[in-house]
Structure 1
Amino acid sequence: MNASAETTAVAEAASSDPVRHRSTAELEAALPHIRGAPRSAGTIHLIVRRPGEDAREVLDVAEINDAEGVAGDTWNQRSSPTSADGGPHPDAQITIMSTRAAAAVIGPVERWPLAGDQIYADLDISHETLPAGAQLRLGDAILEVTAKPHRGCAKFAARFGRDALRFVNTGEGRDLRMRGVNCRVVQPGTVRTGDPITRL
């Protein structure tokens, strides 16, 4: 897949979503598999950038930099109510979502970009394994996990259901960071689908 062939417009209304939302029971059943993710080294399965509002591009190769997060992404154009000046939050340049959580919450990999995260990796990203300040190597780049929470919102509920929103934001879903983890860029570099992602 490449960016020119894989631009996906995001459906906003839940009624336009043809895929059934996961129930709380289904999400709970996925927990043992999510807990079993590799703790120190995993694999990147999907890279996504957001070139515009509610648009997604799936990339084979991405450049990571401290100006945009993923080159061509609109992180640096997005306001944040929790940043000091209301502008883009420096602790949320790139977000990583567990592929196991994505499969449980979202379903088929073709739908994962709807979540809006940039990196989808088979890695344990729980608070216990990756506390704030932990660093990860992806290709030539290095990211640092930040303390800024990554929470589901109204769009997340519309796309994946209210059960999913409640589950990722509370209890074990929150502890495992099933919604994902925020990171900032420490070292720019190139990352490719299939690259290892390693805790330093």
Structure 2
Amino acid sequence: MDHAAHATAPRHLSSAELTAGLAAVARSPRGSGTLDLVVRRPAVDEREVLAEGTLDIVEGLAGDTWAARASSATGDGSPHPDRQLTVMNSRFVRLIAGDDPQDWALAGDQLFADLDLHTDALPAGTRLAIGAEAVLEVTAESHNGCVKFANRYGRDAHKLVWSEQGRQARLRGLYARVVIPGVIRQGDTIRVLGTAAACTSVAVVT
């Protein structure tokens, strides 16, 4: 079922509250984690929380509006291929938004993962296997907080994701593209396979 996004999350944390909560975010697992939420955007400001989704090399998340969104970063205005999917740390979104998946979905990201997204842990070119089939590749594009993020989660959260610490930890999330299509499900394991060069001959296994 499609759901229109709430206007704002139910709480806006202070800088002190955010700082106190970052210890739990820093304990996010490296190497292997969990896909906690899949969200499709069927239209502007609409969100659909999915138990199961399909990742496609051309479409990204099937049924999502990425493929129909113009990009100012491409010469012809076509969707940016390296901004096909966004992945956000689920511990951080839980900190700023609480436990309601609909409030997580406000962020506008498609995938929420209990996984360390730090630039040291997942440099551009790193491949991530989700479940039994799909593989993503982390791109070099920067995913930054916008005015909508500030309005929904508060100015202090917005400042934090723009800080040097926030950018290095990728608190706002990261961009990725699909390199091997497949079905993904809430609760799937996410495994870090290594960089694209190292993964050329790696087969995805269950």
Q: TM-score, normalised by structure 2?
A: 0.89
Spell out, residue by residue over 1:84-107, the C-alpha distance to the aligned partner (whole angstroms, 9 max, x if none).
322211101111111111111222
Structure 1 position 68, deviation (Å): 1.5
Identity %: 48
The DSSP-based 3-state class of the residue aligned with 1:79 is coil
Aligned to 2:3: 8
1:170 and 2:163 are equivalent in the alignment: yes
1:157 and 2:154 are equivalent in the alignment: no
Structure 1 position 166, deviation (Å): 1.1
- State which drifts further: 42-51 or 100-109: 100-109
* 1:42-57 alignment, distance < 5 Å: 42-57=33-48
Aligned to 1:128: 120
Aligned residue type for 1:8: H
Structure 1 position 26, deviation (Å): 1.2
Structure 1 position 158, deviation (Å): 1.0
1:71 and 2:62 are equivalent in the alignment: yes
Structure 1 position 18, deviation (Å): 6.5
Spell out, residue by residue over 1:52-71, the C-alpha distance to the aligned partner (whole angstroms, 9 max, x if none).
01101111111100222110
Aligned residue type for 2:164: G
Distance 1:83 1:101 in 2: 30
The DSSP-based 3-state class of the residue aligned with 2:94 is helix
Coordinate RMSD, CA, aligned: 1.2
Aligned residue type for 1:54: D
Aligned to 1:142: 135
How many pairs align? 191
- State which drifts further: 165-174 or 126-135: 165-174
The answer to whether the Cα contact below 8 Å between 2:33 and 2:189 also exists between their aligned partners in 1 is yes
The answer to whether the Cα contact below 8 Å between 2:9 and 2:106 also exists between their aligned partners in 1 is no
Spell out, residue by residue over 1:113-153, the C-alpha distance to the aligned partner (whole angstroms, 9 max, x if none).
11111111100011110000000001210000000000110
Structure 1 position 83, deviation (Å): 2.4
1:106 and 2:97 are equivalent in the alignment: yes
Aligned residue type for 2:176: C
Aligned residue type for 1:9: A
Structure 1's unaligned 5+ residue stretches are none
Of 44, 50, 61, which aligns to 1:59?
50
The DSSP-based 3-state class of the residue aligned with 2:187 is coil
Distance 2:21 2:71 in 1: 32
The answer to whether the Cα contact below 8 Å between 2:11 and 2:97 also exists between their aligned partners in 1 is no
Q: TM-score, normalised by structure 1?
A: 0.91
Aligned residue type for 1:146: T
Distance 1:64 1:30 in 2: 32
Distance 2:155 2:9 in 1: 16
Distance 1:136 1:157 in 2: 29
Of 180, 185, 190, which aligns to 2:173?
180
